[in-house]
Amino acid sequence: MSLLLFCGGVFRRVFGWLLWDNLGVARGFKSVDRDQPFLLPPDMRQWLPGDHFVWFLIDVVGELDLSGFMRGYRLGAKGREAFDPAMMVTLLAYAYQDGVRSSRKIEQKCVTDVAY
């Protein structure tokens, strides 16, 4: 057992110096700014190119009459605020054209894909 410990120590002293000290491994690190307010641009229009399909879809849904959705909501009602029906229609239309039909998968896409 002591021979293994001795050999391990020699190996570390010889090869550790050879591998780490002479290969030019950087000893400095990039600084981390955890107080950085945004990793993405604050303006959503900068996240996707201007000719992306989602912008067209937002314009189309903006022209639709969604008053039928609005009738179900009233001011001062109890509970959490609802999502904007135009945003939800746009989200579902974009997801469906993208081949995503599962609500769980749409939720995942909202977290991982900026177009959603």
28: in domain:
no
pTM of the model: 0.63
Count of CB atoms situated within 10 Å of the CB of 89: 16
68: in domain:
yes
Number of domains, the chain: 1
59: in domain:
yes
What whole-number distance in Å separates Cα of residue 107 and Cα of residue 57? 19
Which of 13, 67, 44 lies closest to 115, judged by CA?
A: 44
4: in domain:
no
Q: How deeply is 116 buried, as exposed, middle or buried, from its count of CB atoms within 10 A (0-12, 13-18, 19+)?
A: middle
34: in domain:
no
86: in domain:
yes
Domain of residue 51 covers 42-72+82-116
- pLDDT, one tens digit for every residue, the chain (116 residues): 555 545 555 555 555 555 555 555 555 666 667 777 777 677 878 889 999 999 999 999 999 999 988 887 777 778 788 889 999 999 999 999 999 999 999 999 999 999 99
Residue 10: predicted pLDDT: 54
